[in-house]
Amino acid sequence: MPLDVISYSLAKKALESGGAWHTIPRVDKSTDVQDAWVDVDCSDCVPEGAKAVAVLFCSEGTYGSTDHHYAGARKNGATDEGTYACVKSTGIAGSRLDIVELDENRIFEQKVKSPNGNYVKTYIVGYLK
């Protein structure tokens, strides 16, 4: 996803939330765990007091023509599945930018699923403070 699209998305969310969004060089938070919610610690890439992060999911690698890749992010401790959705559908590579709330320890949860290995990469590209 181009930086100008990311910057626009973050600016829009900042206006809606009343906070200040900050872009950062992308930080890889990908996981090898498939089809399960796992904690993602962002304390190494966002400062204390950060309220949310911008999570960029990217489908990468070589895919078969029928592969579908899924990803989602939610606040740590949440139980909803609502953010878990397709990142890449048949024959089309893709990416998706999610904004997810952090807990007081700067942790959120992610879930990814891609056949034949983990081709969904997770990057932190900004935060709200």
Q: Is the per-residue pLDDT at 48 higher than 70?
A: yes
Mean pLDDT of 1-13: 56
Q: Which two tokens stand for residue 97?
A: 């930018």
In this predicted structure, what is the pLDDT of residue 104? 95
3-128 CATH fold: Jelly Rolls (2.60.120)
If pLDDT is split at 50, 70 and 90, which confidence band does 64 have? low
Q: Report d(CA 126, CA 25) in Å as an integer.
A: 8
Is-above-0.85 flag for pTM? no
Q: Is the per-residue pLDDT at 1 higher than 50?
A: no
Domain ranges of the chain: 3-128
Kind of pairing between the strands at 85-88 and 69-75: antiparallel
In this predicted structure, what is the pLDDT of residue 61? 59
Distance of CA 30 to the CA centre of its chain: 9
In this predicted structure, what is the pLDDT of residue 53? 93
Tell me the pLDDT tens digit for each residue of 13-43.
666 766 788 889 999 999 889 889 999 999 9
Beta-sheet strands, E only, within the chain: 21-28, 38-41, 52-59, 69-75, 85-88, 95-101, 107-113, 120-128
Q: Report d(CA 41, CA 47) in Å as an integer.
A: 12
Tell me the pLDDT tens digit for each residue of 76-124.
999 988 777 777 655 556 778 888 999 999 999 999 887 766 678 899 9
Instruction: Give the three-state DSSP class for 17.
Output: helix
Q: Which of 89, 94, 86 is nearest to 66 (CA)?
A: 89
The dihedral region occupied by 8, where left means phi > 0, alpha psi between -120 and 50, and beta the remainder, is alpha
